[in-house]
Structure 1
C-alpha cells in the first residue's frame, strides 16, 4: 500500500520546485552558480523527455532507462558532427551527446531522485532499478580529451595568426572578433579555466604586479586564485583591451572582459563556437575537435608532462585536492620514450 505521505506531484511540478531550490542554494552561496545551472538544465531536460504531465511517483526504472536513451540520442546543440550527415537537416548535423554528458546527466538525475525520496515525492528511487549501462547507450567511450603537442600547436598557431590577420572588409568594424577569439583560445589552453570562470571574468580581474600580468580567477566554492599569464597571452590580452574590446563595447557591460558583437557579456554556450572558428584555420592534418573542458585537460596534461610541480598545476586549475589531477592527466604519444631518454640516473642519451 502506498504511504499516505507520498505526494502525487507531476514531473513538471517537482522539477520546477527542485530547480527553485538549487537556485536558492546558489544565491546563498551553498552551491556554485555554474553547478546549479547544470543541475537545473538537466532536470528540466528530464521533464521534457519523461513528460511533464506524468506523476513522478509512477515512473519506473524502465521509464528512466527510456529517458537515458532519449538523452543519449538528443542532438548536442553546442557542437557539430565532423562529417556531413545526409538527411539530417543540413550538411553538418548536430552531434549526439558525448559519454561525459551522458554520465553528467545520469548524476544529475540521481541527485534529483535522492531529493525526491527525502521530500516524499516518490516512494522508491527509480534510479535503483535502472538497467542500462553506458555501453547500452550507444557504446560511447570518452575520447582522450587533451590535445597532442602537434594538435595544440596547430590550434595556438591559428589563434596567434588571427592577431595580425588583416580585417575582413566584408564585416562591420563592431563585428570583428578575431582578437577576442584568439584571446579566448589562448586563455583556455594556457591557464585551463572552467568555461564559467572565463565568461565571468571582468577587465578589473587582470592586473600587473612587478611587471607580470595576473588573472584573478573567481572559482568554485567562492575560492579565488591569482594566475600569472605567459607573455604570449599577455600580448594578446593587451592588444584586445587596447583595440578589440573597444570595437565591441557598446556600454552595456562595462566590466565584462569578453563581449559579443552586440556588446553583451559572452555566454558560456558561445565559447564552443569560438573554438570551432579557430579550429577551422588549422591544417586538417593537425586538427582535432576539442571542447573548453578538453582544453582544460590539455593544460593539465602538458604542464604535468613538462614535470611542472603538481601542486603548482593544482593551483593553476583551481582544484582543492591534488587527487583530482589524476582525472585531468591524459597520456601523450611518445612521453615515456622521451622520459627514458633523459633518465635522471643515466643521463641524456647521445643523439
Structure 2
C-alpha cells in the first residue's frame, strides 16, 4: 500500500492525477489496509475479504456529517454523533479499490483481482447512488432563503468574535447551489479569483486538468460576496492564509471535509417541509438540473460547470417532479389553439 501511495503521489508531478484525486486514492487505500488488517498478505485476500471491508466501510462513521448545529468547524463532532458513510462515498471507495487492484495485478503484487469475486450487492451497501441528488425548486429555495437569513441576522454579542462564521457559511452554500463548483474548486478559491469586468462580478475557477473558466455571478450572489469580504472574512483572518476566500475560525483555508458541516448548519435553519439532506456534489447537480430545466443553453451550462464534454451533462440532469406536466402545458404545436 505504501508503494502504491508513493506511485500515485508521483503521478501528480507529471499531471496524470490532480492533487485532490491523488489524495482520495491514497486515503482510500490506506483505509482499506486499516480495515483489512495491516498484518494481512495482499495476495491472500479474496472476494469475501473485500466484501467484509466494503461492509465495514459502509458502517464507518462519516466525520463530515454531524447531527445538530456546531458553530465551529468540527469541535462538536464527538458530542453530536456521526452518520455512516453515504452511498456516494461507498461507490467512490469501491472505485478506488478497483483501480488499486488493477494496478496490483499489472505489477505482479497479486495473481488474481479479488474485485472480480466481490458479491456485496448495492442494497447491502446502502445503494451506489441516491435516487435523486438534485434538490427540487422548493427545497433549493428553502436552502437559499435560510442562507440569506443567516447572513442578515445580527450575531449575538456573546459569541466569540473568531467563531462568527454565519456569513462564510451562507456564502459557501449560495455559491455551491447557484454556480455549482466542485467542492475542491470552492475550497481552493482565493479572494483574488473574484474580479469585476464591465460592471459584473466574475469568479475565475481553477478546475480539473489545469483548465480555468470565468463564471459571472448573479447579482444577489455578488452582493453576498461583498458583504462577506467586508464583514465576515476580517473576523476570521489571522494572516495565516492571506489569499484564501473561505477561512476556518482558526484562520486557515476551509478544508474539503468541512464543507458538508457548513451545508448541514444552513439546512438546520430550513423549515422541515422544505428540508432535504444534500451533499456538495448534490448542490452541483441542483445547479445543472435547474439551469437545464429553465431551457438554458446546454453549452452555457457545460461551461458553468467546467465540463470538457457536452455529453457529461446527461449525468448531472436529474428528473424533477411535475416537469413533464409543465412541458406538455406549453406544447409548441398547440400554441395557436391556446391563442
Deviation of 1:28 (Å): 3.0
| CA shift digits 1:196-241 (9 cap, x unpaired) | 0000000110011101111000011111111000000000001111
Structure-2 separation of matches of 1:296 and 1:266: 19
Q: 1:70 to 1:102 in 2, by over 3 A?
A: same
| CA shift digits 1:251-305 (9 cap, x unpaired) | 1101101111111011111111111111111111111111111100100010000
Structure-1 separation of matches of 2:30 and 2:176: 29
Partner of 1:23: 9
Tell me whether 1:233 sits opposite 2:221 in the alignment.
Answer: yes
Structure-2 separation of matches of 1:217 and 1:138: 34
How many residues end up aligned between the 2 structures? 331
1:113-152 equivalences in 2 (<5 Å) = 113-138=101-126, 142-152=130-140
Bigger RCO (CA 8 Å, 6+ sep): 2
**Contact 1:342–1:349 (8 Å) recurs in 2:** no
Partner of 1:53: 39
Q: 1:219 to 1:150 in 2, by over 3 A?
A: same
The DSSP-based 3-state class of the residue aligned with 1:27 is coil
Partner of 1:288: 276
The DSSP-based 3-state class of the residue aligned with 2:335 is coil
Structure-2 separation of matches of 1:90 and 1:111: 33
The DSSP-based 3-state class of the residue aligned with 1:331 is coil
Partner of 2:56: 70
Deviation of 1:143 (Å): 3.3
Gaps of 5+ in 1: 1-14, 83-88
Instruction: State the Cα RMSD in Å.
Output: 2.0
| Pairing partner for 1:249 from 237, 252, 257 | 237
Length-normalised TM-score, structure 2:
0.93
Q: Which has the larger radius of gyration?
A: 1
Partner of 1:9: none
Structure-1 separation of matches of 2:165 and 2:84: 28
Deviation of 1:140 (Å): 6.6
| Pairing partner for 2:28 from 13, 26, 42 | 42
| Pairing partner for 1:203 from 176, 191, 195 | 191
Deviation of 1:48 (Å): 0.6
Q: 1:173 to 1:92 in 2, by over 3 A?
A: closer
Partner of 1:219: 207
Structure-2 separation of matches of 1:98 and 1:247: 33
| Pairing partner for 2:323 from 324, 332, 335 | 335
Structure-2 separation of matches of 1:90 and 1:253: 27
Length-normalised TM-score, structure 1:
0.90
Gaps of 5+ in 2: 69-76
The DSSP-based 3-state class of the residue aligned with 1:107 is helix
